[in-house]
Structure 1
């Protein structure tokens, strides 16, 4: 979890041994993308995820059974991607979890994958940070904080505002203009199914 009073300590302890975690923003982005790839078998995703987080030569793959690796992967994923928060499970009136198709309550307003150009140019504009030069260096938590703090005059924030726009009045001209812009910046269907 991002904190201003704790140093970033990217290690994960397993049975008393600390393993360094690659928490650079580009690695976590690749990890998120990999977990969404439905063409990969679940067990392959877990093994690949462990290698992405702990290094391709990690001894964890041989040292632990698959279920333990799966638990490690899910825990580290929760720590970094969800910043330690459990995903919210929507429940019905009786307190039972709703089926997955009812869990989605809103369309995502941005995609780290499809909006990469807007994010890149906005980081350059606002912070003078070249994200391509920061690969392997800029921490995932710092990246998220900077992304959340992008000013309104950046392309990324403008595109997100267009996607979130709702008709405020009976202005037909403004509405048709915004509907056209929403169509231009609409995310592909596969991406809008997943919350960021």
Structure 2
């Protein structure tokens, strides 16, 4: 995201220009489609394109979908590359742990936006762009419930932590754990 670039409302693919609705709630609907276990990949792409551009193109469905996902939707969590004294990249230690889930944490995200920005996300549906939403979510102040939950999930015990503090943090980690919900 660059502040001197306009928010994306259309794009060109293979010489064809498409309008695109990247409001945050629409993108969240796309994530719901992508997590649907009944649809195959082509059906997911067609449905997602229907939500985002209002129609399904006659051809290049998968290519257009992949372009949109990579360019406008994908959430990149890039690990910072560390270098040794000679400037050589150090090996990446481990994959970054998932600390937030847009579905499971929806009520905490809502409360945090209300607390930090005075923003009612329900009133912002259809208006707040996905890139704006991501920026505001990433910039939540430490005092918000969502930021506190992220800190709890990321906490690792230290030898210097008092036993009662460790016990309390472990209890909070169990309470706010991101576990896969079983489908009934």
Q: Aligning the two structures, in what range does the TM-score lie when normalised by the shorter sequence?
A: 0.7 to 0.9
Seen in structure 2, the aligned counterparts of structure 1 residues 154 and 86 have a Cα distance that, compared at 3 Å, is: closer
Q: CA 1:35/1:180 → structure 2, altered by over 3 Å: closer, same or farther? A: same
Q: Deviations over 1:7-54 (max 9, x none)?
A: 123212134231101100011111123212223211210110110111
TM superposition outliers: structure 1 runs of 4+ over 6 Å: 85-88
Distance in 1 (alpha carbons) for counterparts of 2:25 and 2:161? 44
Please give the residue correspondences for 1:3-152 in structure 2 after superposition, counting only pairs within 5 Å. 3-55=2-54, 58=55, 60=57, 63-64=58-59, 68-82=60-74, 105-152=95-142
Q: Which of the numbers 158, 165, 168 marks the counterpart of 1:174?
A: 165
| Structure-2 separation of matches of 1:70 and 1:10 | 20
CA deviations over 1:81-114 (Å, ceiling 9, x no partner): 226x6999xxxxxxxxxxxxxxx82431010111
Q: Distance in 1 between matches of 2:77 and 2:20?
A: 20
- Taking the aligned partners of 2:106 and 2:176, their CA distance within structure 1 comes to 13
Give the secondary structure class of the aligned counterpart of 1:13.
strand
Higher relative contact order (CA 8 A, sep 6+): 1
For the 8 Å contact 2:99–2:150, the answer to whether it is kept is: yes
The answer for the alignment partner of 1:99 in structure 2 is: none
Post-superposition shift, 1:190? 5.8
Q: Does 1:185 align with 2:176?
A: yes
- Give the root-mean-square deviation of aligned CA atoms: 2.2
Tell me which of 133, 151, 168 is aligned to 1:161.
151
**C-alpha distance 143-170 of structure 1, shift in aligned 2 (>3 A):** closer
TM-score by length of 1: 0.78
In the other structure, the counterpart of 1:98 is: none
The number of residue pairs the alignment matches comes to 167
TM-score normalised to structure 2 length: 0.83
Please say which of residues 119-128 and 24-33 is displaced more in the overlay: 24-33
Contact 1:78 1:86 in 2 (8 A): no
- Extract unaligned runs of 5+ from structure 2: 80-93
- Which residue matches 1:96? none
Deviations 1:129-185 (A, max 9, x none): 100000000000000000011000000001111111111225211111100000000
